[in-house]
Structure 1
Amino acid sequence: MSSSLDQLCVNTIRTLSMDAVQKANSGHPGMPMGMADVSYILWTKFLKHNPKNPNWADRDRFILSAGHGSMLIYSLLHLTGYDVSLEDIKNFRQMGSITAGHPESHLTPGVEMTTGPLGQGFATGVGMAMAEHFLAGKFNKPNAHIVDHYTYAIVSDGDLMEGISHEAASLAGHLKLGKMIYLYDANSISIDGSTDLAFTEDPVKRFESYGWHVQEIDGHNHEQIESAIQSAKAETSKPSIVICRTHIGFGSPNKQDSASSHGSPLGEEEIRLTKENLGWVSDEPFFIPEEALAVYRGEVEKGAKSEADWNALFDSYSKQHAELAALFTQWINRELPSNLEELLPVFEADAKGVASRGASGTVLNALKDGVSNLFGGSADLEGSVKTNLKDEGRFVLDGPTGRNVHYGVREHGMAAALNGMALHGGMIPYGGTFFVFTDYCRPSIRLAGLMQTPSIYVMTHDSIGLGEDGPTHQPVEHLASLRAMPNVLVLRPGDANEVSHAWKVAIEHSTGPSIIVLTRQNIPTFERNDANSASLTAKGAYVLADSDKETPDAILMGSGSEVHLAMEAKAKLAEKGLDVRVVSMPCWELFEQQDADYIESVLPTAVTNRVSIEAGSTFGWQRWIGNTGIAIGIDTFGESAPYEELYQHFGITSDRAVEAVLQQAK
Structure 2
Amino acid sequence: MSSQLAQAPALVALRAKLNAKVHSRRAARSARVVTKAAVAAPAGVSTETVNDSINTIRFLAIDAINKSNSGHPGLPMGCAPMGYVIYREAMTHNPKNTKWFNRDRFVLSAGHGCMLHYSLLHLTGYPSVSIEDIKQFRQWDSKTPGHPENFITDGIEVTTGPLGMGICNAVGLAMVEKHLAGRFNKPDCEIVDHYTYCIMGDGCNMEGMSGEGASLAGHWGLGKLIVFYDDNHISIDGHTDISFTEDVQARFDAYGWHTQHVQNGNTDVDAIRAAVNAAKADPRPSLIKVTTLIGYGSPNKSNTHDVHGAPLGKDETAATRENLKWKYGEFEVPEAVAKAMDCTEKGAAAEAEWNAKWATYKSKYPEDAAELDSIMSGKLPADWAKSLPTFTPEDKGVATRIHSQTMLNALGGAIPGFMGGSADLAPSNMTLMKQFGDFQKDTPAERNVRFGVREHGMGAIANGMKLHSPGIIPYCATFFIFSDYMRCAMRIAALSQAGTIFVMTHDSIGVGEDGPTHQPIEHVASFRAMPGMDMMRPADGNETAACYKMAVENSMNGAPTTLALSRQVVPNLPGTSMEGAQKGAYVVQGAAAGEACDVILIGTGTELELACKAGAELESKGKKVRVVSMPCWEVFERQPASYQDSVLPKSMYANTASIEAGTTFGWSKYAAKSIGHDDFGASAPAPILYKEFGITAEKLAALF
Tell me if TM exceeds 0.5: yes
Aligned to 1:525: 572
Contact 1:551 1:606 in 2 (8 A): no
Aligned residues: 652
Q: Determine if the alignment matches structure 1 residue 355 to structure 2 residue 417.
A: no
Preserved contact between residue 493 and residue 560 of structure 2 (Cα < 8 Å): yes
Task: Give the Cα–Cα distance (whole angstroms) in 1 for the partners of residues 640 and 568 of structure 2.
Answer: 34
Which residue of 340, 353, 372 corresponds with 2:384? 340
Aligned residue in 1 for 2:314? 268
From 648, 653, 659, the counterpart of 2:696: 653
Encode CA deviations 1:160-203: one digit per residue, 9 max, x unaligned.
00010111111111111111000010000011110101000001
C-alpha contact (below 8 Å) 2:371/2:416 kept by paired residues? no
Per the alignment, residue 254 of structure 1 pairs with: 300
Partner of 2:236 in structure 1? 191
1:81 partnered with 2:120: no
CA distance in 1, matches of 2:64, 2:417: 43
Q: How far, CA to CA, are the matches of 2:159 and 2:412 in structure 1?
A: 30
Q: How far apart are residue 410 of structure 1 and its match?
A: 0.5
Deviation at residue 351 of structure 1 after TM alignment: 8.4
Query: 1:447 is matched with which residue: 492, 507, 512?
Result: 492
| Equivalent pair of 2:374/2:381 in contact (CA under 8 Å) | no
Give the match's secondary structure for 1:369: helix
**Aligned AA for 2:467?**
L
Match of 1:476 in 2: 521
CA deviations on 1:518-537 (whole Å, 9 max, x unpaired) are 00000111124xxx532222
Question: Contact between 1:551 and 1:607, CA under 8 Å: does it hold in 2?
Answer: no
CA-to-partner distance for each residue in 1:613-633, whole Å, 9 max, x for gaps?
0001111101111xxx11111
SS at match of 1:368: helix
Is 1:224 aligned to residue 298 of structure 2?
no
Match of 2:25 in 1: none
**Divergent runs of 4+, >6 A:** none
Contact 2:521 2:677 (C-alpha < 8 Å) held by counterparts? yes
- Indicate the SS of the match to 1:645: helix
In 2, Cα distance between equivalents of 1:123 and 1:378: 16
C-alpha displacement of 1:366: 2.1
Quote how far apart the aligned CAs of 1:341 are: 2.9
- Give 1:398 shift: 5.9
Alpha-carbon separation, structure 1, partners of 2:675 and 2:325: 71
- Counterpart of 1:102 in structure 2 is 147
2:366 to 322, 334, 337: 322
Aligned partners of 2:61, 2:441: CA distance in 1, in Å? Answer: 44
Aligned 8 A contact 2:543 2:577 in 1: no
1:129-528 alignment to 2 at 5 Å?
129-217=174-262, 218-220=264-266, 221-236=268-283, 238-282=284-328, 284-297=329-342, 299-350=343-394, 353-396=397-440, 399-425=443-469, 426-509=471-554, 510-528=557-575
1:573 to 2:633 alignment: no
1-structure distance, mates of 2:259, 2:441: 23
SS in 2 for 1:323: helix
1:483 Cα deviation from its structure 2 partner? 0.7
Distance 1:647 1:212 in 2: 50
Q: 1:347 deviation in Å?
A: 2.0
Matches of 2:591 and 2:551, distance apart in 1: 31
Measure, in 1, the Cα distance between the counterparts of 2:648 and 2:395. 27
Alpha-carbon shift at residue 352 of structure 1 (Å): 6.2
Deviation track 1:57-113 (CA, whole Å, cap 9, x = no partner) reads 000110000100010000001111112110000000000101000010000010011
Q: CA offsets per residue over residues 370-395 of structure 1, 9 Å max, x none? A: 11321011000010001000030010
Instruction: Check whether the contact 2:75–2:294 (CA below 8 A) recurs between aligned residues.
Output: yes
Shift of 1:43: 1.1
Deviates more, 1:340-349 or 1:495-504: 340-349
2:687 equivalent in structure 1: 644
Give 1:301 shift: 0.4
Contact 1:350/1:526 (CA < 8 Å) preserved in 2?
Answer: no
**Could you report, residue by residue, the CA deviation over 1:203-231 in whole angstroms, capped at 9, with x for unpaired residues?**
12111011111101121311110000000
Q: Which moved more, 1:168-177 or 1:28-37?
A: 168-177
Is 1:50–1:56's contact at 8 Å kept on the other side of the alignment?
A: yes
Q: Structure 1 stretch 643-652 or stretch 548-557: which is displaced more?
A: 548-557
Q: Deviations over 1:341-369 (max 9, x none)?
A: 32111222148611000011011112221
- Tell me, in whole angstroms, the C-alpha distance in 2 between the residues paired with 1:110 and 1:80: 11
Which amino acid letter does the alignment assign opposite residue 34 of structure 1? Answer: G
Per the TM alignment, residue 397 of structure 1 is displaced from its structure 2 partner at its CA by 5.5
| Structure 1: distance between partners of 2:649 and 2:511 | 34
The one-letter amino acid of 2:256's match is: G
Q: Quick check: 1:164–1:413 contact (8 Å CA) kept in 2?
A: yes
Residue equivalent to 2:99: 55
Give CA deviations for 1:220-250 in whole Å, capped at 9, x if unaligned: 31111000000001112x1110000001101
What amino acid is aligned across from residue 60 of structure 2 in structure 1? L
Structure 2 unaligned residues grouped into runs of 5+? 1-36, 42-46
Aligned pair 1:611/2:654, yes or no?
A: no
Partner Cα separation in structure 2 for residue 85 and residue 363 of structure 1: 46
1:620 counterpart (666, 671, 689): 666
**Structure 1 stretch 22-31 or stretch 544-553: which is displaced more?**
544-553
Aligned mates of 1:333, 1:41 — CA distance in 2: 30
Distance in 1 between the 2:156 and 2:125 partners? 13
The partner residue of 2:627 within 582, 588, 591 is 582
- Alpha-carbon distance between aligned partners in 1 of 2:394 and 2:240, rounded to the nearest angstrom: 61
1:378·1:385 contact (CA, 8 Å) conserved in 2? yes
Per the TM alignment, residue 484 of structure 1 is displaced from its structure 2 partner at its CA by 0.7
Is the partner of 2:582 in helix, strand or coil? helix
Tell me how far apart the structure 2 counterparts of residues 617 and 491 of structure 1 sit (CA, whole Å). 16
Deviations 1:613-660 (A, max 9, x none): 0001111101111xxx11111100000000000000100000011011
Q: 1:125, CA displacement in angstroms?
A: 0.8
The question of whether the paired residues in 2 share the 8 Å contact of 1:351 and 1:526 is answered with: no
Distance 2:247 2:512 in 1: 44
For 2:181 and 2:610, locate their aligned partners in 1 and report how far apart those are by CA, in whole Å.
Answer: 49
Give the Cα separation in 1 of the matches to 2:384 and 2:227.
Answer: 39
Q: In the superposition, relative to structure 1, how do residues 352 and 476 fare at CA in structure 2: closer, same or farther (>3 Å)? A: farther
In the alignment, residue 118 of structure 2 is paired with which amino acid?
A: Y
How many angstroms apart in 2 are the aligned matches of 1:433 and 1:364? 15
Specify the code of the residue in structure 2 equivalent to 1:104: E
How far the C-alpha of 1:305 sits from its partner, in A, is: 0.4
Aligned residue identity for 2:376: I
TM (normalized to structure 2)? 0.91
**Percent identity among equivalent residues?**
51
Structure 1 gap ranges (5+): none
* Structure 2 Cα separation of the partners of residues 371 and 329 of structure 1: 12
